[in-house]
Amino acid sequence: MILKSLILFFIVFYSFLFFCDADSSTNCNRTNPLVDLEFEFKMFQHQLRGYIKIIDDCSFRISQFDMLSGSDVHWWGAVSSDFGNLTNGFVVSDHKLNDTYANSSFVVRLFDNVTWSMINVLSVWDLPTASDFGHVEFANVTALANSSAPSPSSDGEKENHVVRVQTEPTMFENCKVLSKKFRVRWSLNLEEDSIEIGLEAATGIMNYMAFGWADPKSTGSELMLGADVAVTGFKEDWVPFVEDFFISKYSECMKNSDGSVQGVCPDSAYQGSDRVGLVNDTQLIYGHRIDGVSFVRYKRPLSKVHGKFDHPIDHLANMTVIWALGKIRPPDTIQSYYLPQNHGSLPFETFGHLAINVSDHVNDCVGPLDAEDKEDQDLIIADGKVPLVVTSGPALHYPNPPNPTKVLYINKKVAPVLRVERGVPVTFSIQAGHDVAFYVTSDPIGGNATLRNLTEIIYAGGPQAEGVKASPTDLVWAPDRNTPDRIYYHSLYEKKMGWRVEVVDGGLSDMYNNSVVLDDQQVTLFWTLSKDSISIAARGEKKSGYLAIGFGSGMVNSYAYVGWIDDKGAGHVNTYWIDGKDASSIHLTHENLTYVRCKTESGIMTLEFTRPLNPSCSWEDRPECKNIIDPTTPLKVVWAMGSRWTNDHLNEKNMHSFTSSRPILVLLLRGSAEAEQDLLPVLVVHGFMMFFAWGVLLPGGILAARYLKHLKSDGWYKIHVYLQYSGLSIVLLALLFAVAELQGFYVNSAHVKFGFAAILLACIQPMNACLRPQKPANGEQASLKRVVWEYFHIIVGRSAIVVGIVALFTGMKHLGERYGAEDVHGLNWALIIWFLLGALAVIYLEYCERARQRISRRVLERSNWVLGNLEEDDSVDLLRSTRMPADKDPQTSAVMEVQLEPLNR
């Protein structure tokens, strides 16, 4: 029974292994001539290395695979490796490569509708940037594949064997780690008595890499003296070089008075009687500079060396090698070599030694080198005063292959990184040709990206931004605080002609239109107004854990914006409504903030955000719905700082350590600020003058025209004119006071709208008096023009008084809401009582006037026996339905008469 159970277990176990092993190759034929061929990847980016073996018609195996991570990396097929075909390729598998790989092996299966006949180039491809990390070309190995096809075995079946296609200079048989940032790779060729060496270091472009064999006679600390080393690196034009050096002294190569040299010098610089040292035993094979990593491959003999400055290599023995990294000095008029400088004093990082047997198979280089600074492109820093010259030329070292044959140059640099500052305008002088339309875009590829990328944002340029040297086109672009940190410049008509734009903060004063220092000189407020929104920044001038600014007379009953950095280093800006002095009175709100940023530098906190002027929610909905910013009126701003803030449970520890002693009135449109009490006296004078005009003088003039007609001669008229002119003059003077203090006249608030309307109506009356029609003679009927004029005069005058009174009350409300003036409630009641008393006075005067008119009519009835013309006074009202003959105009009533009421009532 136990034996049967064991047999059943092994049957199930081996069946499971069989089916699991057959996953990728199930139902796949092996008819393609590429099957069983193994290829080396060609490196282009991200330090990609490895082998690919074609397993069958629908899968392949990857081995010894190294690659730095990308953003969205796929297996990519194309017809050929030229720019057009490679960029128009296609994804061939659902297997993604978004991680970092270190000596990895795995199997990849093609899509069911993809065959090897469709793929001449297999690439590791990053979709967002259209970047080729590395690829294998199959088209050039068809003959090799056919010649190396598996031969039939004795039983009629094909033998499986692997043919490796070795073509890439980055691939070696062995690799040894020299330091964290430096490696040596090598492959032996005993038939040619040579060794090929690859030096690879994450170092600067103007640094050298040195590797060689110590003098077998040297020991201890003198290993470098007499050493035979190869010095490699890159020239100023990015061309790699390798030179055979001999170390005769611990110093830079120096020339003696007799013409001899000593130090770290090239073999060809040493002079001897036999001139045997003039032979360079190193031969350059290949070199590249990718992702901040320098790689140079060279070849040298093993035993058949040519001079006394070279050491033979015993490939079967352990031999001591030395290495170093450091700065290199380019040739000048005195010396014609690239000479290494002192490598420094930190062993195991910049120089060292170890024993190596080149025949041993060694591979302790696990994973790719990862340089801290991967960018080797020239950096152009934009200057707001100097135009950037944009031209086009050949792609000598474009940073993002594959690339077209012609790319953009800025200031004669090939596709450089462009660094601009927010708030500083940049001028481009475009001379790249009529077939190149320059533009700044959010898309990393460019080339009319909107056809494939509907989310593309174009920040500057377009079809009109083209020109030639004889007729350049100037393009001015001003990045603002809302411009992302990384964008791109490209041609509108061709993909991948440009490169990256770094947008940095050039200082808040450059990014915002206005700034003021708040109370106590410890917080600076910055802002930029647009049509419907405002962008705000605040910077604390002393170290703190959080920074808060509030809109209100104090932190209590204010809307607060708090910026802080959490434990993970991320910045936050939250909004609160504060209605008390303890932590429970701080209520989190949800305002529609955009472009939110918060950062700290050496403890100095800066917060930024953009918000609408008028929240898009109902007044009764949430507290923040009432947080309206009116640019025409001063904004009261306070601030607070503290040591710690949290997004969760607020407590007394969140209370501020420092706070402003008083609010500052920020004049948003003016771009300045005033202390609260400095502005109130001017506004009080303005309000008193308006009250005296609209509450005393102008109504008094109207009452004179209505109720003083019984005075002798034209006394009523003089009083009327003097009061109206005086009232209008005081109104205009009070207006000038307000405009001068606020440095502007902005018709936005209700008070300003009613005030402007009242002043406009008052100013119409003098102009109306100039157009007054002639009064009819005694016994004549009033003309239609005269009747219309009197109607217009009375309507405008009474409307001016009503609107002026409304302006007074809205002004009091404005004073209380925006300026925190005390006693506003009492002043409002005082105004109401004043105008109620005025209304009672009008009622009393109207009663007396009616009585006087009744007595006059009875006197006239008794005196109707008098012969001759009746001299009537101006008590006759032409606007009444029953009209009486009108009198002549008084001699003193000239064309400049000003009336806010009809002269005849």
Q: Phi and psi for 383 in degrees, rounded to 5? A: -115, 125
Q: In this structure, are 208 and 295 located in the same domain?
A: yes
pLDDT at 614 over 80: yes
For the stretch 564-601, pLDDT in tens is 988 888 899 999 998 887 778 888 898 889 989 998 88
* Residue 122 clears pLDDT 60, i.e. is over it: yes
State yes or no: pLDDT of 325 exceeds 80: yes
Same domain, 669 and 698: no
Residue 720 tokens read as 């009327």
Lowest mean pLDDT among 297-311, 429-443, 463-477: 297-311
pLDDT for 902 beyond 50: no
Please tell me whether residues 589 and 499 are part of one structural domain: no
Where is average pLDDT lowest: 50-54, 252-256, 476-480, 628-632? Answer: 252-256
Higher pLDDT, 289 or 278: 289
**What percentage of residues in the chain have a pLDDT greater than 90?**
41
Structural domain of 764 = 679-772+784-844
Residue 289 C-alpha from the chain's centroid? 30
Confidence of residue 161 (pLDDT cuts 50, 70, 90): low
**Which range has the worst mean pLDDT, 41-55, 111-125, 475-489, 763-777?**
763-777
> Does the pLDDT value for residue 415 go beyond 90?
yes
pLDDT at 309: 85
Co-location of 685 and 646 in the same domain: no
Judgement on whether residues 633 and 582 belong to the same structural domain of the protein: yes
CATH number for the domain spanning 759: value is 1.20.120.1770
> In the predicted model, what is the mean pLDDT of residues 840-860?
79
For residue 492, what is the domain's CATH number? 2.60.40.420
Contacts of 290 (CB under 8 A, 6+ apart): 43, 44, 45, 47
Structure confidence by residue, pLDDT tens digits, 782-810 = 778 888 887 888 888 888 888 888 888 88
Asked which of 631, 658, 675 is the last residue of a domain, the reply is 675
CA distance linking residue 754 with residue 748, whole number of Å: 10
Q: Are 655 and 544 in the same domain?
A: yes
- Any domain includes 762: yes
CATH of the domain at 334: 2.60.40.1210
Place of tokens 């730095």: 68
Residue 901 falls inside a structural domain: no
- Is there a domain that residue 3 lies in? no
pLDDT of residue 769: 74
Highest mean pLDDT among 216-230, 421-435, 589-603, 818-832: 421-435
For the residues 89-96, what does the mean pLDDT come to? 96
Question: What pLDDT score was predicted for residue 897?
Answer: 39
pLDDT tens figures, 761-785: 888 877 877 777 777 766 677 778 8
Same domain, 689 and 663: no
Say yes or no: 184 and 255 in one domain.
yes
Q: Are 560 and 623 in contact, with CB atoms under 8 Å apart?
A: no
Q: What residue type is 226 in one-letter code?
A: G
832 shares a domain with 807: yes
pLDDT computed for residue 650 by the predictor: 67
Which of residues 57 and 568 earns the better pLDDT score?
57
Average pLDDT for residues 140-145, to the nearest whole number? Answer: 54
786 CB neighbour count, 10 Å cutoff: 17
Structure tokens at 772: 């007054």
Q: Are residues 684 and 629 in the same domain?
A: no
d(CA 621, CA 589): 12
Q: CB neighbours (10 Å) of residue 500?
A: 18
Residue 875 lies inside a defined structural domain of this protein: no
What does pTM read for this prediction?
Answer: 0.63
pLDDT in tens, 451-482: 777 789 999 999 999 999 999 999 999 998 88
665 and 684 assigned to the same domain: no
Q: What's the number of domains the chain is made of? A: 5
Mean pLDDT highest for which of 221-225, 429-433, 530-534, 861-865?
A: 429-433
Residue 834 lies in a domain: yes
Mean pLDDT of 709-726: 78
What mean pLDDT value characterizes the chain? 82
User: Is 858 contained in some domain?
Assistant: no
Beta carbons of 612 and 592 less than 8 angstroms apart? yes
Report the range of poorest mean pLDDT among 98-107, 156-165, 891-900.
Answer: 891-900
Element (H, E) at 538: strand 533-540
Q: End of a domain among 639, 654, 675?
A: 675
Let me know if residue 31 belongs to a domain. Answer: no
Strands 37-40 and 163-165: parallel
Report DSSP letters for 424-493, one per residue: --EEEEE-SBTT--EEEES-SS-SSGGGT-TT--EEEE-TT--B-SSS-EEEEE---TTS-SEEEEEESS
Looking at 357, 387, 422, which one is the last position of a domain? 357
Contact 897, 772 (CB under 8 A): yes
Most confident of 409-418, 517-526, 549-558: 409-418
Contact 433, 466 (CB under 8 A): yes
Pairwise pLDDT comparison (490 vs 720), residue with the higher score: 490
Inside any domain, residue 463: yes
pLDDT of residue 875: 40
Same domain, 670 and 727: no
What is the CA 373 to chain-centroid distance, rounded?
22
